[in-house]
Every structure is written in C-alpha cells, then in structure tokens.
Amino acid sequence: MKLILLSALLTALSMPGMLWGYLIWIALIPFFLGMRSSRPLGGALKAFLFGFAYLMITHYWELPVLALNVPEVLDSFPNFIGVVVYVLMCLVIAVPFAGFGFVYSIFWSFFQTRKFTGALFAASLFTVFEGLRELGPLGFTNGRLSDALLNSQLGISQLLALGGPLLLVFVVVLVNHYLADLCTRRKGGRISLLVTAVAMVALVNALIQSAIPLRPTDESSEKTLYALQTNISQQLKYYAPPEETLKVVLMGLEEIPEGSTVIMPEATFMSDIRITPTGARLVELAQERNLEILVGFPIYNGENYNQVRFVNGDGFSGEFYAKVKLTPFVEFLPWPKIFGAFEFLKFLDYFDAGEEFAVFSVDGHEIGAQICFDSLYSEVARNLTLNGAGIIVISTNDGWFNIETALQQHFSKGIARAIENRRYVLQVSNTGITAIIDPYGRVLKRLPTINEVNTEYVIGAFQYLPGTQITPYTRFGNWFFFFSLVLGIAIAILGGVFPVKHEDDAKEILSTFKRIVVVGFSKNPDKPSNNVPMYLKEKGYEIIPVNPTMEEYEGMKVYPDLKSVIADGMNLEAVEIFRPSAEAEEIAIEAIELGARAVWLQKDIRSEKARKLASERSVLYVEDKCMYVEHRRFFT
C-alpha cells in the first residue's frame, strides 16, 4: 500500500500549480508495481485508494473553500460539514479508478511477460475509465493526468489537437507502465533509468515545441478585445446592493477606449439587471462610449440560467449563452432523491443547464463564450468552434479561491481548449487569472491577480487573430475514447481469453527474467540445487536462495520462504524449485498465488495441479527440465 500512496503523492505533485509537471512520466510506476499480483477486489481497492489520495491532494485548495470561505459568506452550514463534504467529494470522483483496478487485476497476469502489449492494455483501460469519469451529472475532469503537461510541456501537449486529453492520458500511462515493467527486470540502475526516461521526454517535448509556428504578425487581420477584471469579494457580491458593483464596473468602463468590445467576468451582477436602474445605467454608458459589453448575470424566465449576453447602446441583446456544464450541488442538485440532504450547498440558486452553443457576432468578432466550470470540459469549446467561433472566451468568477494553485489549475483548462481547437482563448476572471492564450497554448499576456495588485479592477487590451482551422479533435471529438475501448477489448481477447502460447517457455524464462528465486537451495556444491543456481549466477543472473535452515551463503542472503522474499521488497519473477514432487506442487502453487511470473520444476519433478493453475494465470511454466542444461542449449 505504500507504493500506491507514494504514486498518489507523485501524481498530485505533477499537477498545475503544484511541484513539477515532468513527474507525471514516472509518478504511476509505484502504482503499477503495487498493483501486480492483486486479485480483482484487492486491485479495485488499491486503485480506488490511489484515485482518492491523489485527487484529495490535488484539490487540497477545496478544503478551505468548503470549510472556511463558503460557510463564512453563505452562513448555511458549519465549518466541519465543509470538511465532510470535501472528503465525500473525493470519494465520489475516485470511484472510476476502482473499476480500472478491478478489470486490470483480472487481465494483468496475461501480459506479464509481454511488456509492450501489457502497457498498451493498461493505457487503453485507464483511458476508457478516465473517459467515463467525465460522464453523468457528477462527471469531473479536473486533475486528469493530461493536466500535468499543460504548463511546462507544450510540445507534447500539441497531441490535444489530434485526440484531446484522452490521447495524452493514454501516452502517459503507456510510458509509466512500460517503465514499471523495466524496473522489475533490473537489479540496479533504476534511478538512472528513470532520470534517462524523463530526460528523453523533455528532449522530445523541446523538439516538438521548437517546431511550433511563431505567432503571425499580420496586423491587418488582428482584432482587439478589452477585458475588465473585477476584484470584488464574494461578501460584497452576495450582500451589497448591485449599485456597489456598478460603481466599480463604471469606473473601469470609463477607462476603456470608445468603440471597444469588452469582456467581463461571470456573474458580474448577482441578479437580473435588465429592467433595473443598474441595467439602465449600464446601457446608458454603453451608448455614451459606443461600447459592446459582454456581461454575466442570472436570469429567471420560467427557466433559470447562469448566462452572459451583450449590452450596448440599444439595450440588452436577446441572444445569450447559458452555462452548459453546471457545478454539481452548487448550481444544481443531481439525483435529488439520493442527494437531497446536500441542498445546503446551493450558492445563489439552482439553474437549468443551457443547451445552445451560441456564438456572438459583434463588431467583427465571432465570440464563443463559455462560463467557469464549462472550461473543464472539451465539449463546450469544441461545439462553439464548430458553430463558427473565431475566439473562445471564458468568463469566470474565481472569487471563492484564495490559493494560487486553484487559479492555476482552472486556467490550465483554457490552455487545453486553445490547443484542441487551434483558437485563441481569453479568460476573464473576477479576482482570478485574466489572460490570453494562443492556439498552441502559449500565454501571450496576463493581468495581475488580486493577490498581486490590490485594486478594485484591472483593464487589459488583448489582440488575437480569428481562427478558422478545424482540427481532427474539433471535427471528431472524443474518438480516442472509442479507439481505446476497441483496442483494450481486442488485446484482452487476443492476449487474455486466447493467450499467446510460447513455443518454448524455458527459453522465454531464461531470456526474460534476470532474477531467479531458488527454493530448496543447498549449501552442498555437489548437489544440483547448488551448482545449477551458482552456474546461473556466473552467467549474470541474480540468485535469491530460499532454505529455512540457512541464513547466508557466499554473501547472498538466504530466505526461509517465498513470503519473506516479498516482505523484503522483491517481486517474485522466476521461481526454480528443487524439492521432491510432493512438496514441489505445494510450493509451485504458492509461488503462482504470490504473483510469480514464471515457475520452473527441475528434472524429474512434475505437477498437474501446478501446470493447470499456471495455464489459467498465464504464468510461464516448465517442469521436468534442468535449467543448467536448457541454458547451455539456448545460449552456449
């Protein structure tokens, strides 16, 4: 279990705003080492604990939000309830990992001697369950393995334009699983292996990144949007009259050049302002300065929407974009009969999910706007692009988050959306990160957050080139999910249901494994149970002697039984048994149950039960053969 928790920690530390994104290329190695030899239920539990731990660490910033910030502002539940909700949230979003662990543990043994096939299967399976993690009313995509690449590895991240986040997840798992298998086959030099692997990934990333086109400088096609980032506290938003917010907004708008198009944050106002003095004053200023202003506020017309729409001198537009991906429990209550007790988590009100991906045609701009939580899902930006958006705008209120990590993780989703669709993405936030990202994920300009400059608002002009390209991902969506599903099923059928039979398991064992556990090792050099393993030691194999009557032999530690070998931190690779048939059968079965990848019974020793169990578990199996003779036959 230590390996599982270590992997969870390393994975979390690779996420945006944490430690180092390149950790993701080795973070899953302890996880896959810990999953070896697990039974399905045990594998499900291990994978669930991995998901729970890494998602809990990744989203540590949610704890002060739920336990301090929200109770302080809304006064709707005590602080300790926020802690309980945080734990329950992590438990729920970790459930898909249990499914992966269950299925992986069923099929793992079928691929234990075929490194690349096993890595392909693990990557396909993990990708499928990662795809399932975003489905349904409780779907959640933050903390994906692909997120680790978004801030520091823009070269490899270009794969997003081909297959979206799931393609990156597949590649990350493939590399980790393959490296985990290599680690089990090496006696030493594992650290150098991992360092070399990360260095190679960094080199590949640098080579791809060097090929990314420079930003065009065609000023004739360049367009400008202005962002008005407000720095208004949640207390003021919820309890002060809208006129207080209006004062800040008007001061900011007065500084923006006349005739401009302005983007403002989500829920700039916390009530419908269309037929209020606040709305009338906003229209008046828009008319005075000839402004087109995208502003966010809720509306209640039979259906409740968290929406954004434009306002100009003629009033509020009839066209609007309503948030499609609502935040569970905060903006809607999933499955009320089950989760009705959690209604106290409601923020402003419950909303209906939008169904239209409206693109605003305003003053020469084709603006695809999305709101806050929408940016976590590729679907929204993709549909806006297909509907003709030349730029994607993310209007968000990050006023609940006091920790920079939360802002970085949210902003990184905009980087993914930009690359996926080859569109500029402009995020405009209340108190959070306001910045523009080019179609290759490069952050071109960023305004200071409230933690960096203590002002009521910040204004910025952002230039962009309207996009027209349709990427494979934009056109075909999550095709890689179905590819992974088909690939995983095919590998399971060909390698699991109908496993490949090796023509000569003896040669396979001697070629594949460099660590041999010798049960029945003798201190008498005249016996085969001594001279055979010592011969193999001379040929470069690592010999692990097992004999309950010995403690040491020629500098080698001698173990009393197989469980002691595992307890000392070593996996059972090949197990050679020098015991009479009656004892050998029991030892062989124990070795297989403990996860041995190959079992070898010496000359004149056979076991029908062990042979059958090895076949069922796809464990390489040899009986009635001398390892010395076979080694000389194949390699001398």
Catalytic residue among 237, 323, 325, 413: 323
- First and final C-alpha spacing in the chain: 42
Q: Which tokens in the block code for residue 612?
A: 């059958």
Catalytic residue among 62, 130, 266, 292: 266
Nearest to 181 by CA among 271, 113, 281, 263: 113
pLDDT at 107: 84
Fold of 501-635: Rossmann fold (3.40.50)
What is d(CA 403, CA 191) in angstroms, rounded to the nearest whole number?
34
Q: Which residues pair with 600 in a beta bridge?
A: 576, 622
555-577 pLDDT tens trace: 899 999 999 999 988 888 899 99
The domains of the chain are located at: 2-213+479-493, 226-326+352-465, 501-635
CB atoms within 10 A of CB 194: 16
Confidence of residue 492 (pLDDT cuts 50, 70, 90): confident
For the purposes of burial, counting CB atoms within 10 Å of the CB of 192, is it exposed (0-12), middle (13-18) or buried (19 or more)? Answer: exposed
For the purposes of burial, counting CB atoms within 10 Å of the CB of 154, is it exposed (0-12), middle (13-18) or buried (19 or more)? Answer: buried
Maximal CA-CA distance, the chain: 103
Nearest to 52 by CA among 88, 27, 1: 88
Confidence of residue 366 (pLDDT cuts 50, 70, 90): very high
What are the two backbone dihedrals, phi and then psi, of residue 218, each rounded to the nearest 5 degrees?
A: -85, 90
Please answer whether residues 246 and 264 qualify as being in contact, where contact means their C-beta atoms are separated by less than 8 angstroms. Answer: no
The mean per-residue pLDDT over the stretch 465-488 comes to 96
Confidence of residue 10 (pLDDT cuts 50, 70, 90): very high
What is d(CA 60, CA 73) in angstroms, rounded to the nearest whole number?
20
Residue bearing tokens 């802002």: 407
pLDDT at 500: 47
DSSP state of 354: P
Alpha helices in 189-329, H assignment, sequence order: 190-210, 234-239, 242-254, 277-289
Most confident range, picked from 63-77, 278-292, 330-344: 278-292
pLDDT at 381: 98
378-396 pLDDT tens trace: 999 999 999 999 999 999 9
Fold of 226-326+352-465: Nitrilase/N-carbamoyl-D-aminoacid amidohydrolase (3.60.110)
Residue-wise DSSP of 129-165: HHHHTT-STT---TT-GGGGGTTT-HHHHTTHHHHHH
The mean per-residue pLDDT over the stretch 276-302 comes to 95
The mean per-residue pLDDT over the stretch 25-50 comes to 92
H and E: helices and strands count for the chain: 26, 20
Nearest to 169 by CA among 140, 121, 127: 127
Q: Which conformational region is residue 486 in: left (phi greater than 0), alpha (psi within -120 to 50 degrees), or beta?
A: alpha
Residue type at 532 in one-letter notation? V
Nearest to 267 by CA among 355, 349, 333: 349
Nearest to 17 by CA among 378, 516, 449, 485: 449
Whether the pLDDT of residue 126 is over 50: the answer is yes
Task: Calculate what percentage of the chain has a pLDDT beyond 90.
Answer: 73
Neighbouring C-alpha atoms within 13 Å toward the C-beta of 400? 24
Residue bearing tokens 């530390």: 13
Task: Calculate what percentage of the chain has a pLDDT beyond 70.
Answer: 97
Chain CA centroid to CA 201, Å: 18
Catalytic residue among 325, 372, 413, 623: 372
Q: Which residues pair with 392 in a beta bridge?
A: 368, 425
What is d(CA 182, CA 108) in angstroms, rounded to the nearest whole number?
15
Sequence-separated (6 or more) residues with CB below 8 Å from residue 135: none
Please answer whether residues 60 and 317 qualify as being in contact, where contact means their C-beta atoms are separated by less than 8 angstroms. Answer: no
The DSSP bridge pattern shows strands 515-519 and 542-546 to be parallel
Whether the pLDDT of residue 620 is over 90: the answer is no
Nearest to 485 by CA among 229, 123, 222: 123
What is d(CA 137, CA 503) in angstroms, rounded to the nearest whole number?
51
pLDDT at 475: 97
The DSSP bridge pattern shows strands 321-322 and 303-312 to be antiparallel
Mean of the per-residue pLDDT values of the chain: 92
Whether the pLDDT of residue 234 is over 70: the answer is yes
The mean per-residue pLDDT over the stretch 616-630 comes to 85
The mean per-residue pLDDT over the stretch 293-299 comes to 97
Element (H, E) at 395: strand 391-397
pLDDT at 116: 87
Q: Is 337 a catalytic residue?
A: no
Secondary structure E strands in 547-629:
552-553, 556-557, 574-577, 598-601, 620-622
Please answer whether residues 141 and 478 qualify as being in contact, where contact means their C-beta atoms are separated by less than 8 angstroms. Answer: no
Whether the pLDDT of residue 156 is over 70: the answer is yes
Residue type at 548 in one-letter notation? P
What is d(CA 145, CA 137) in angstroms, rounded to the nearest whole number?
21
Residue bearing tokens 């020629």: 554
Sequence-separated (6 or more) residues with CB below 8 Å from residue 48: 94, 95, 97, 98, 101
Radius of gyration of the chain, Cα coordinates, nearest whole angstrom? 30
Confidence of residue 165 (pLDDT cuts 50, 70, 90): very high
- Supply angle C-alpha 225, 227, 232, rounded to 5: 165
Please answer whether residues 323 and 349 qualify as being in contact, where contact means their C-beta atoms are separated by less than 8 angstroms. Answer: no
Q: Give whole-number Cα distances, 12 to 28, 108, 525, in Å.
A: 11, 25, 52
Confidence of residue 302 (pLDDT cuts 50, 70, 90): confident
Of residues 631 and 161, more confidence is placed in 161
pLDDT at 407: 95
What is d(CA 562, CA 546) in angstroms, rounded to the nearest whole number?
7
Residue-wise DSSP of 478-529: SHHHHHHHHHHHHHIIIIIISPPPPS-HHHHHHHH-SEEEEET--S-TTSHH
pTM: 0.83
Q: Is 372 a catalytic residue?
A: yes
3-state helix, strand, coil in the chain (%, to 5): 50, 15, 35
Taken in order 149, 152, 158, 161, the sign of the CA dihedral is positive
Most confident range, picked from 69-73, 159-163, 347-351: 159-163
Coil/strand/helix, residue 97:
helix
Nearest to 246 by CA among 69, 452, 457: 457
Whether the pLDDT of residue 630 is over 90: the answer is no
pLDDT at 502: 43
Q: Is 325 a catalytic residue?
A: no
Element (H, E) at 55: helix 40-58
pLDDT at 571: 82
The mean per-residue pLDDT over the stretch 440-447 comes to 97
Q: Which tokens in the block code for residue 483?
A: 């590819």
Residue bearing tokens 């070269």: 155
